[in-house]
Amino acid sequence: MNTKTQPPKHRVTVTLPRGTLAAAARIARARKVRLSIVIAELLDAGLRTRVATERSSRVLESYRRAFAGFSDEEMMLLDGVLLDEPIR
């Protein structure tokens, strides 16, 4: 990988539960990569998931506020439900 595209790295000390560390170490051994690579990838994936979850929650709350004043009948009309046609 080109070093210009890699983000800067910083050394830190973290305390992890034994089981978490052992699982990450098994993944690193199986992939034949450094433990720090596995931990960085897993942390990055978790952070992306958290950001996506938070974004989804904000969007859902925006929709709830936007449609809060509509009655059930109005919501069905907005959803495209035709109330006057017989069901076949």
* pTM over 0.85, yes/no: no
> Would 37 be classed as within a structural domain?
yes
What per-residue confidence (pLDDT) applies to 88? 59
- In angstroms, the CA 41 to CA 8 distance is 15
**Where in the sequence is the domain holding 56, given as residue range(s)?**
18-78
> Would 24 be classed as within a structural domain?
yes
> Would 31 be classed as within a structural domain?
yes
Angle formed at CA 25 by CA 24 and CA 31, multiple of 5 degrees: 90
> Would 73 be classed as within a structural domain?
yes
Ordered per-residue pLDDT tens for the chain, 88 residues: 555 677 788 888 999 999 999 999 999 999 999 999 999 999 999 999 999 999 999 999 998 898 888 888 888 888 876 666 665 5
> Would 8 be classed as within a structural domain?
no
